[in-house]
Amino acid sequence: MLDVQDDTGDLTRIRFAARFEVDQHHAEQTGELTPLESLVTKAKRHLGPTDYLTFRIECGLEEVRSRRRAAAASADAWDDLYLRASAHLNRLDRVLMRIESFHAQYTRRRGDIEGGIQLYRDALAKRSEALGENTYDTHMTRGNLAFALLDSGEPAYLDEALAILEAEVSYRTTEYGPESEFACRAAGNLGRALVRRYERDVHDGVAEPDTGSLHRALAIATEQISIRDRRNGRTDAFTSNAHLLRAHALLLLDRRDDARTELKFVAAVVEGRRVPVEQDWLAELTARLEQ
For position 276, what pLDDT does the model report?
63
Q: What's the rounded mean pLDDT across residues 188-213?
A: 93
For position 237, what pLDDT does the model report?
81
Q: What are phi and psi of 217, to 5 degrees?
A: -60, -40
Cα–Cα distance list, 225 to 9, 134, 138, 237 (Å) = 48, 28, 27, 11
At residue 272, what is the residue type?
G
Query: What CA–CA distance (Å, rounded) separates 46 from 119?
Result: 32
Q: What is the pTM of this model?
A: 0.79
215 contact partners, CB below 8 Å, separation of at least 6: 249, 253
Res. 269 pLDDT band, cuts 50 70 90: confident
Query: What CA–CA distance (Å, rounded) separates 39 from 86?
Result: 22
Query: What CA–CA distance (Å, rounded) separates 28 from 66?
Result: 11
pLDDT over 90 percentage in the chain: 67
Rg, C-alpha atoms of the chain: 21
Q: What's the rounded mean pLDDT across residues 17-25?
A: 92
- CB neighbours (10 Å) of residue 268? 12
For position 287, what pLDDT does the model report?
94
Q: Is the pLDDT of residue 55 over 90?
A: yes
Q: Where does residue 156 rank: exposed (0-12), middle (13-18), buried (19+ CB within 10 A)?
A: exposed
Least confident of 34-38, 114-118, 191-195, 278-282: 278-282
Q: Is the pLDDT of residue 274 over 80?
A: no
